[in-house]
Structure 1
Amino acid sequence: MSQMALVPLYLTYWSAKTYGISLAVLALTNIIQTFDFGHQTYLQYEFLRIGRDNRTELSKYLWSGVCFGILICLAQLAFIIFLLVTGTLTYFLDEIGSLDAQTIYEAELLLLLQGLAWFLSTSIPGVFHRALAPFGYYPRMSWWNFLYAVLSTVAPVVAVVYGAGLLETGIVSFITSITYSIPLYYDMLRLLRKEGVTFQAPSWKLGYHNFVRSLALSAKGLLENIRQQGIRLLLVPMLGANGLAAFSTMRTGANAALKSLNTIANPLMPELMRFLHQRDQARSEIALGTVWVVVVALLAPAVVVMQALAEPLFSAWTRGQVVFDPLLFATLSLGILVYAAAQPAVAIVVGNNLLKHQLGLSLTAVIVLVGTILLLVPTIGMLGGGIALLLAEVVATVGYRIYAQRWLQKNNLAWPTRSANIVNLSVWMAGLSMGLLVLFPNAQPTVVTISLLFLLWNAWRYWQALPDLATQRVRKMLVSVPGVRRLFPA
């Protein structure tokens, strides 16, 4: 949501081209950091496996991980320097030959600063953070992360408002990160000493072993990153920085919906896995159905309404610097609906560590994404990028559902076919409605009204298909909300 709020501010003080270059540098930074993040994620599960009772082993894993994490970050910085020395970075920033030397210089230093900030403020603290999780400090570390999110959002905004350009804003962000890290290091090291997690001589053999085992997570993360953020790097050479800014701003609303959905889906994972391992069909359907309730009752109607309202809001939001494309906006919104509908199947596959299937589906989706972009973007522009994202999501969704159904069948459980079909119908209805709004803009009130009636009817069908335990749970949630208590009497 903060990204949505900040877009008009950036486009007030920066040109669309400058904003597009900043997005491209950020996307490249995220790609470069993938292997370090995968390493941290693997160590997180190792720390949880070891637990708080074996502090000696946990310390050995911790300091071996810190030392190997430093090596990974040094390799990342070496790669960034390679990009700068060879001039390769220009390819990721805009159409070849369209940038002046000063802009390239500022973008290069910005990338280097972001790499250093990750090294000092995120990579090493990330390992310490995960080592503290078995001791119950996860909420405390979450507050630290929240503080960092606030500072890393506010600091560059203040700099931009006071006239800072690309490089000056990057310097302000870097100084903010380093300043924040000083008390963070102090707090984490103090807590580790308090829990008896002392320094242990690192084992390079153990560090290498953990790094190699983390590569599978890194590979999956890299593929997913290409689908979510790395697409910016694929589009820059074809659309330029201005085109990237336009594509990214039109995708901002979809990304906000995606993150909101994840805040609902992620906390359900432990509960879902417990029910699946207990072979509890009814309660498993409750956990699966909670996400689908959001898709059917909220997300599908919301994207239709937003499609109708988007154009005038978008023009004001982007300060008139970006031209609204209703068909691209509808395509991106439909992609988010497909992604949301796939989440129960994704949860089953991911939660059961079916890593081979995850890697295969991620690779297939990326191949579809890249191939479609190369085929369509040169001919139809930004819309080709939206279609590529949609096709990649459809391919991934079909694959996850097939593997989820197989796992359930193998473990004497059943896929909720009826509920899934109703959800799919909501996605089709919303997609058709947005298409009609694009084709017949003058009939918006009629199309929206009829569409919402059909979507509400389908939501009622979904409610009827839910198990009794699921409807009881939803009722308990709703009776606490003022204004709806009378609709759902206890």
Structure 2
Amino acid sequence: MSTAQRLISGTAISWLQIGVTIVSQLALVPVMLTYWSVEAYGVWLAVTAIISLVSLVDLGHHDFLMYEFMRIGRNDPTQLSRYLWSGLLFSLLISTVQTLAVALLLATDTLSVLFDSVKLANPGLLHEGGVTLLVFSIGWGLTNSLSGLMTKVLLPFGYYPRMAWWGLGLSIFFVVTIIASVVLGASLQLTAVITTGANVLFTGLIYLDLFRLLRREGITYTPPSLGLGYHNFVRSLAVSGKSGLENLRQQGIRLFLPALVGTTGLATFSTLRTGSNLALQGLNTIVQPLMPELMRFLHQRDQARCEAAFGTIWIIVVGIMAPATVVLQLVVEPLYALWTRGRIPFHPLLFALLSIGVLVFALIQPGIAVVKGNNLLRPQVVLSALAAGCVLGGLFGLVPGMGLVGIGVALLVAEIVAAVGYQLVARRWLAANGLQWPRQAYAIVLTSVVLAAAACLAIVWLPAFRWLTLAGALLGLGANAWRYWQVLPRLATERALKMAGEWWRIISRQPVAEPA
């Protein structure tokens, strides 16, 4: 399978995952608000935030080893086996400690602080939330902790689409199980038990396929090396620390919100942020399939193909994300009211700030890929710490006076700080390794982000001119997109046209010729 075909296949499956996520969010929110109280829904969101936090060490270990697997490459299965089995041993240890830590939180009643039990009308929700958290932690150890690492070792062999299909199936199964449990009257903790059990059963099928693929590629069992495993684990702690600080901007911020705005405010913020989270996932449908190829181009010092890879990401920002953000800002409010059944208020300015933050994050994705792909750990930690400081400072400095909008301001400032830092670090690394940062293309993409941001804010602050704002914004964004296409290197435009052709063949169901 050619590079373009792998990107098309991986992206197509990832877009299906986005579709499933959208449908699941559209279904889960009204279902939970119908059968559960808003407080129970808020506790559910808090549980998901906490489980994201306690699993950071494990996920950081996975991410570090993923880039090590890409560095080693597909031509050295013996080395891959050593790294995999040593990593699996430490993943098992990490998940065990993680579960014990959750049990300790439950036993010492620390969760009362995290769930803000004073404001809960039903104190029994605190206990249910704790049991739910413990069940999810046990389920993590049996599924994601091990299968996630085994999935990543297969990425250098081009199995991203296959793994994405498994992920799609698991997502559908998981969501259907949650909805069925809630509709049939399951409580918070019973829903957790049912969905975790179903997740374990489905992951068992994934394990069978993973072991078969590992044997096919010559990645056989190798006695784990404590020394190698410990060395990689210690180095991965920097990634975990960085991920923890980043998680503060994505999920961990929910831990502080109950004390500042109550569980109802948490539900409002989390529901409003659903749209931006979906946009982030949509961006990942392009970035994740591209990462193995981009790492190969960087290691080969191939400037033309690196720019083509950057262009594949940026053309999505310029041609799709920026104009879609403006259109969504204009039409989202009535759709949101229908979706939440009018039970959760809409904040147009907060929604605009969250959307602009997504555009800033998308803008700097090539820079993040360079820094993360080469495991440049120190700048990752420093930049994540700076961004987290912006979030915390804004959280406690702005929320008391501005309410939920203060959270949006803090998150946007954090994204801007991180974006500037990642661009500087990426430019320095590229220059030190005989490559160049595509400054002209970056400036054009930045222009699209600024235009979209200004249009979103104008729609909020000048609602009487919203249609005029939309027309002007789309005209300016269209002209800028054409300008961007003109400055793309030939290889990038050829790849874009080839990918468009592949998409057309898929849509029209025409056979695709095998690559020479």
Using structure 2 for the length normalisation, give the TM-score. 0.85
Among 465, 468, 471, the alignment partner of 2:487 is: 465
Among 420, 423, 439, the alignment partner of 1:417 is: 439
Question: For residue 254 of structure 1, what is the aligned residue in structure 2?
Answer: 276
* Cα separation, partners in 2 of 1:353 and 1:196, compared to 1, 3 Å: closer
Residues in 1 aligned to 2:156 and 2:494: alpha-carbon distance in whole angstroms: 34
- The superposition leaves residues 79-129 of structure 1 with CA deviations (integer Å, 9 ceiling, x where unpaired) of 112211222112222464435331111101000100110111222333444
Question: For residue 365 of structure 2, what is the aligned residue in structure 1?
Answer: 343
Question: For residue 208 of structure 1, what is the aligned residue in structure 2?
Answer: 230
* Cα separation, partners in 2 of 1:299 and 1:192, compared to 1, 3 Å: closer
Question: For residue 11 of structure 1, what is the aligned residue in structure 2?
Answer: 33
Question: For residue 320 of structure 1, what is the aligned residue in structure 2?
Answer: 342
Amino acid at match of 1:430: A
Residues in 2 aligned to 1:248 and 1:280: alpha-carbon distance in whole angstroms: 42
Residues in 2 aligned to 1:238 and 1:113: alpha-carbon distance in whole angstroms: 28
Question: For residue 30 of structure 1, what is the aligned residue in structure 2?
Answer: 52
**SS of residue paired to 1:266:** helix
User: Residue 12 of structure 1 contacts residue 319 of structure 1 at CA under 8 Å; is this kept in 2?
Assistant: no
User: Residue 160 of structure 2 contacts residue 289 of structure 2 at CA under 8 Å; is this kept in 1?
Assistant: no
* Cα separation, partners in 2 of 1:186 and 1:291, compared to 1, 3 Å: closer
**Residue ranges of structure 1 left out of the alignment (5+ in a row):** 484-490
Higher mean C-alpha displacement, 423-432 vs 64-73: 64-73
Among 456, 465, 469, the alignment partner of 1:434 is: 456
Amino acid at match of 2:369: A
Residues in 2 aligned to 1:198 and 1:421: alpha-carbon distance in whole angstroms: 47
* Cα separation, partners in 2 of 1:233 and 1:137, compared to 1, 3 Å: same
Displacement of 1:200 in angstroms is: 5.5
Among 269, 281, 286, the alignment partner of 2:308 is: 286
Residues in 1 aligned to 2:279 and 2:63: alpha-carbon distance in whole angstroms: 25
Higher mean C-alpha displacement, 79-88 vs 108-117: 79-88
Displacement of 1:283 in angstroms is: 3.5
Question: For residue 233 of structure 1, what is the aligned residue in structure 2?
Answer: 255
CA RMSD of aligned residues (A): 2.8
User: Residue 107 of structure 1 contacts residue 166 of structure 1 at CA under 8 Å; is this kept in 2?
Assistant: yes
Residues in 1 aligned to 2:437 and 2:275: alpha-carbon distance in whole angstroms: 31
* Cα separation, partners in 2 of 1:196 and 1:353, compared to 1, 3 Å: closer
User: Residue 235 of structure 1 contacts residue 385 of structure 1 at CA under 8 Å; is this kept in 2?
Assistant: no
* Cα separation, partners in 2 of 1:58 and 1:477, compared to 1, 3 Å: closer
Residues in 2 aligned to 1:129 and 1:417: alpha-carbon distance in whole angstroms: 35
Displacement of 1:280 in angstroms is: 4.0
Using structure 1 for the length normalisation, give the TM-score. 0.89
User: Residue 4 of structure 1 contacts residue 256 of structure 1 at CA under 8 Å; is this kept in 2?
Assistant: no
* Cα separation, partners in 2 of 1:323 and 1:149, compared to 1, 3 Å: same
Among 82, 92, 97, the alignment partner of 1:70 is: 92
Displacement of 1:211 in angstroms is: 2.0
Question: For residue 390 of structure 2, what is the aligned residue in structure 1?
Answer: 368
Amino acid at match of 1:298: I
User: Residue 308 of structure 1 contacts residue 437 of structure 1 at CA under 8 Å; is this kept in 2?
Assistant: yes
Question: For residue 127 of structure 2, what is the aligned residue in structure 1?
Answer: 105
Among 139, 146, 154, the alignment partner of 1:117 is: 139
**Residue ranges of structure 2 left out of the alignment (5+ in a row):** 1-17, 506-516
- The superposition leaves residues 250-308 of structure 1 with CA deviations (integer Å, 9 ceiling, x where unpaired) of 11111111111111122233333444444444433222122221111211111111111
Displacement of 1:155 in angstroms is: 0.5
User: Residue 77 of structure 2 contacts residue 218 of structure 2 at CA under 8 Å; is this kept in 1?
Assistant: no
* Cα separation, partners in 2 of 1:301 and 1:138, compared to 1, 3 Å: closer
User: Residue 117 of structure 2 contacts residue 123 of structure 2 at CA under 8 Å; is this kept in 1?
Assistant: no
Question: For residue 353 of structure 1, what is the aligned residue in structure 2?
Answer: 375
* Cα separation, partners in 2 of 1:261 and 1:125, compared to 1, 3 Å: closer
User: Residue 95 of structure 1 contacts residue 240 of structure 1 at CA under 8 Å; is this kept in 2?
Assistant: no
Displacement of 1:466 in angstroms is: 2.2
Query: Aligned pairs, how many?
Result: 483
Residues in 2 aligned to 1:446 and 1:14: alpha-carbon distance in whole angstroms: 42
Displacement of 1:187 in angstroms is: 4.9
Amino acid at match of 1:359: V
Residues in 1 aligned to 2:152 and 2:100: alpha-carbon distance in whole angstroms: 26
* Cα separation, partners in 2 of 1:36 and 1:412, compared to 1, 3 Å: closer
Displacement of 1:43 in angstroms is: 4.1
Displacement of 1:45 in angstroms is: 4.9
- The superposition leaves residues 175-230 of structure 1 with CA deviations (integer Å, 9 ceiling, x where unpaired) of 21232244444554566677776665544444333322221222222222222111
- The superposition leaves residues 55-90 of structure 1 with CA deviations (integer Å, 9 ceiling, x where unpaired) of 5x6665555433333322221112112211222112
Among 109, 112, 126, the alignment partner of 1:90 is: 112
- Do residues 242 (structure 1) and 264 (structure 2) align? yes
Among 366, 389, 402, the alignment partner of 2:424 is: 402
Residues in 2 aligned to 1:281 and 1:185: alpha-carbon distance in whole angstroms: 39
* Cα separation, partners in 2 of 1:139 and 1:457, compared to 1, 3 Å: closer
Residues in 2 aligned to 1:201 and 1:281: alpha-carbon distance in whole angstroms: 40
Higher mean C-alpha displacement, 168-177 vs 2-11: 2-11
- Do residues 126 (structure 1) and 148 (structure 2) align? yes
